Amino acid sequence: MINSRSCFQKLIHRGMSTTCTINFKNRTTQEKPVQFAVFKEYPRYFGLRSAWKRASVYNNGQAKFQWNLPYNAVISNYRDKEGIDVYTSSQSVSANLKDQFEVNDIEGIQFVTKVGSTGDDNTISIDNKSSYKANIDVGMDDKVQISEIFGGVNKVFKFTPVYYVAAYQNEKTGEEFSSVELVSPKKVSFNTGYTHATVTLMEDGDTLKLKVEQHDSEAKDSW
């Protein structure tokens, strides 16, 4: 008979997610459409060809982008002190920003549980209250890097998703973004509880400006 406690376990739950929104508005008198773009890294050489998201917007028009960032609290490679042989287990529990977790052990088996949601903005914490060192981390966007945390240590993971936005016009294949950009790219950081941003291209005399406003809810992100 196989001892079920010596079997490899892998408990996966669908992660919760934080929704990010960027609403682009073209408030210019430009006759041709403007190409708005979102980048995961600063766009240095390849312009719209390296854009993560993009849309063409005529004057007095708008386009909205929305995406989810899933989070998971993870413990891996934990062991049962009463096990006969060496084996490992892993557990991934759905998480959201401000969530607080603990690692405990029953009969020497470590596990992670959610204990609250009153943490600081843009953080997820895991407190190792077990008797053993734990391999824990928080995964974002399906990417996980495991850290070794000793018993009695509380680790706080801070997240600040950063993106770059830009506006172009008359972009052609093979052109560098610097030859078609209307304004320099702007950074958008979703921190301190902000999950929505409005990016407006506007005119100031003969100069075009890109204005970035951040909100904590979509209700403030109106036309």
Per-residue pLDDT of 91-114, as tens digits, reads 888 888 889 999 998 877 888 999
Half-sphere CA count of 97, side-chain side, radius 13 A: 21
Same domain (yes/no): 195, 145: no
CATH code of residue 194 = 2.60.40
The predicted-structure confidence for 51-85, as pLDDT tens digits, reads as follows 788 899 999 999 999 988 778 888 877 555 655 55
- Tokens standing for 130? 């077990």
Which has the higher per-residue pLDDT, 43 or 134? 134
**What's the rounded Cα separation, in Å, for the pair 102 and 149?**
12
Q: Are residues 12 and 28 in the same domain?
A: no
DSSP state of 15: P
Write phi, then psi, for 142 (nearest 5 degrees): 65, 20
Of 141, 158, 175, the residue at which a domain comes to its end is 158
Give yes or no: residues 183 and 154 share one domain.
no
Do 95 and 204 share a structural domain? no
Q: How far apart are CA 31 and CA 18, in angstroms?
A: 37
Check if the beta carbon of residue 211 is closer than 8 Å to that of residue 200. yes
Using an 8 Å Cβ cutoff, are 43 and 50 in contact? Answer: yes
- Tell me the residue range of the domain where 34 lies: 23-68+161-220
> What residues contact residue 133 under an 8 Å CB cut-off, 6+ apart?
148, 149, 150, 151
Task: Say whether pLDDT at 14 is over 50.
Answer: no
- Please, are residues 68 and 17 in contact by the beta-carbon 8 Å criterion? yes
Whole-number Cα distances in Å, 70 to 14, 28, 41, 74, 203: 9, 36, 19, 13, 37
- Which tens digits make up the pLDDT trace of 180-199? 677 888 999 887 667 899 99
Asked if residues 117 and 97 have their Cβ atoms less than 8 Å apart, the reply is: no
User: CA–CA separation, 90 vs 84, rounded Å?
Assistant: 18
* In the predicted structure, residue 11 carries a pLDDT above the cut 70: no
Dist. CA 79–CA 149, nearest whole Å: 15
- Are residues 192 and 148 located together in one domain of the fold? no
